[in-house]
Amino acid sequence: MPHITEIEDLKRIYRRRVPKMFYDYCESGSWSEQTFRENSSDFDDIYLRQRVAIDMTGRSTATSLIGQDAAMPVALAPVGLTGMQHADGEIHAARAAEKFGVPYCLSTMSICSIEDVAENTSAPFWMQVYTLKDDDFMQRLFDRAKAANCSAAVITVDLQLLGQRHKDIKNGLSAPPKLTPKSVANMMTKVPWGLEMLQTKRRFFGNIVGHAKGVEDPSSLATWTAQSFDQALNWDRIREFRKMWEGPLIIKGIIDPHDALEACNVGADAIVVSNHGGRQLDGALSSIRALAPILDAVGDKIEVHLDSGVRSGQDVLKAVAMGAKGCWIGRAYVYGLGAMGEKGVSEALRVIHKELDSSMGLCGRTDINEVDRDILLIPKGFSGDWQA
């Protein structure tokens, strides 16, 4: 195995190994990609305060997320089509998360089904759901998650309309993917990826095909997808979903303090400050800039996590120091998955943990739960001093 010292090492291998269609799906944002870029680059504006001559032994990154033990304040975010980045990708990612001791969240738009992941892992995982019109499908999805012993449900609320992603359109990336001569030719150059895909039976959307009404094969999936997302979504509708799920509930896709307060009112246990990785409203604030006003608004009413743009342990440390309980990583682990399967996801987690642990120590702290804003140098106006 090549020597992996940073997430970028995995990304380089990933780009060589995976078809362009699926690489671009991961490594792109909507429209001009401003928000996609700034999700990561805005972390660079925050500096860490180094301390010396402080006992840095006995460090611990262990914490809890919605009451569940975690080896570090990191969860693997729900990413659609993960099973096309690597054969049985969701299973590989869930196994790596289980072994490392961090939560894994399965996407509704996964290739492997809820049942597939449950059968191949032993730790409870989280289940992400979209806000769809079909009550019967939604209730059965929640019921399937309960039967699979999922320990939390995650409702994604920022996908009522689909932000245009130019690369996906040009590559024919849809549900299901529309193969073109160009994309097929590119796939044929990715021999190891292709051989692995030939050996698995899981190549379609396992949570939808055979479960949603009228979707018995991939050809009927596109129509169902186009008709199912609810543009009329409101907070009363989210309250209805809350009644369908009795366990811990996380609402993902919050980027405004007003919406954060609404999430508190519907009975969520946690929110995820997220702009969908820059794949929805381009020109929106990066998640790290949006974090502080949301924390100020909700206080201790709800647990706050952060998603979008996290590529390193230093990013995790900065977000936690600002007040987030934890961070969700998507692209960072997908790079590892596409590069090396389960081993690659484990490597991504190892790299992030080492960066987090070392950086925390060099800031003079030994317990991640005691990290606060005192270790940060945050520029004035970082979270906004906007003209009325």
Is residue 276 among the annotated active site residues?
yes
Question: Measured between alpha carbons, how far is 63 from 319 in angstroms, rounded to an integer?
Answer: 14
Query: Which listed residue (92, 276, 305, 353) is catalytic?
Result: 276
Q: Which helix (H) or strand (E) holds 360?
A: helix 342-362
- Beta strands at 376-377 and 47-48: parallel, antiparallel or unpaired: antiparallel
* 6: its two tokens: 């940073």
Three-state DSSP class for residue 355: helix
Long-range contacts formed by 308-311: CB under 8 A, 24+ apart: 308/39, 308/273, 308/274, 308/275, 308/276, 308/277, 308/278, 309/38, 309/39, 309/40, 309/42, 309/43, 309/277, 309/278, 310/43, 311/7, 311/40
Q: 176 preceded by cis ω (within 30°)?
A: yes
Do 359 and 267 contact (CB within 8 A), yes or no? no
Note the Cα 375 to chain centre separation in Å. Answer: 26
Helical H runs in 18-61? 20-26, 34-41
Using DSSP, state whether 364 is helix, strand or coil. coil
**What beta strand segments (E) does 141-227 contain?**
152-156
Can you read off the two tokens belonging to residue 280? 């929805």
Report the catalytic residues. Answer: 276
